[in-house]
Each structure stands twice: as C-alpha cells, then as structure tokens.
Chains A and B, each alone.
Chain A
Amino acid sequence: KAGVTQTPRYLIKTRGQQVTLSCSPISGHRSVSWYQQTPGQGLQFLFEYFSETQRNKGNFPGRFSGRQFSNSRSEMNVSTLELGDSALYLCASSRRPGTGENTGELFFGEGSRLTVL
C-alpha cells in the first residue's frame, strides 16, 4: 500500500514568488492535513480538508491557502513568499477528520522542503 506522497521534495524560490505543493494521501484516506515545520516554531497546523471542504484552519495569514480535489489529493499554495516561509511542509492523511469518533493516527509524507531566498 503506497504511503503519502508529497511533491516536490525540494524547491527554491525567491521572495515575492508563489509556490504550490501537492499531496496524495493513502488510498482510502479522505482527510488531509498540512503542517509547517521550522526549527524555531516546531510543527504548526495549517489546515485540514475532508470531502473537498476545509474543516479546520490554523493561525496563518491569508497568503497560505489550500484545496482538496474529489480524489482526496490536496494542494497548498503560498503566495508572495517571504523569507520566513522557508520550512518543511508536511502533509498527513487519515481516514476521517478529527471528530471525537476518529481515533486514528496521522500518516505523514516525507515533506516538501521550501527555501525562500
């Protein structure tokens, strides 16, 4: 069974540009979450999608956006990149969203490492 696939694995952008990251969840998983990981801030929750709807959102500016497609694949976009956006962006999938009935763990991809120059 294939794991969570994130593309690209590495990318370099300059300030002001935009970037789109892609995440393909494990087959059968319909919930996708995105996290930003930096040495100083640790793991910060960006948003979670289920059935093409954003179910929860973290405290990030509007430059960070995402979407989910009917096949559960998800993309996140960061516009007008800043130096502080340099980070490892992690995608995680699970069968269902974070309701009280969902006891399942998150399955993470390898991440997309973004460097902003």
Chain B
Amino acid sequence: GDSVIQMQGQVTLSENDFLFINCTYSTTGYPTLFWYVQYSGEGPQLLLQVTTANNKGSSRGFEATYDKGTTSFHLQKTSVQEIDSAVYYCAMRPNTGYQNFYFGKGTSLTVIP
C-alpha cells in the first residue's frame, strides 16, 4: 500500500552541522514528493516539492532529490542554524486518480547555538 516512512523522530544538532533526514515512500507509479516544515505554534508550510523523478528540489538551503530507484526523498542541509529548529514532514501524493497526501510521522529538529 501507499505509505511514507520517516524513522528519525528527533534530531539534535549544533549550529553549522550537516542535516540529513531520511524519508522513503511506497506507492506505484510516479508520485509527487514534498517536504513541509512546521515551526512552533504554526501550521505546516511547504518547504519544497518535486514532481519529476530524479530531479532535485531546493529551498532556503535545504535540498531533496527524488530517487525513484531507492524510493527515497531524503532532506539535507549543509549547515543548519538555530532558526531551522522545527518539525519536518515528508509527504507524498500518489499519481493514480484523485489522491490525498500521505505524511510521514515527522522529525523534530533542535539546533543548539
């Protein structure tokens, strides 16, 4: 069935550390993939999305590559800052007919100054 898996529930880094959040998905065909970010007290907001397999999306220093071969869409940032502290959700929209999103369980990132 369709699903999104984020194994890391919490990540704690120091400023300027490298960030890597794992995301894998399961579906048939070619879904659209998303990363959402949720700051404290707010709703999730779109960070980046990629529609085409093997393409890379980027925003605010974050990057994610749609890897059809490994069914992954890992989120990376070279040098995190304290303001990046938030919850990050990987999401997928299957491309078969009308489909809603499937969200991962979220990864809470804390960046220590």
Q: Is A bound to B?
A: no
Binding site for B on A (CB under 8 A): none
Interface of B toward A, CB cutoff 8 Å:
none
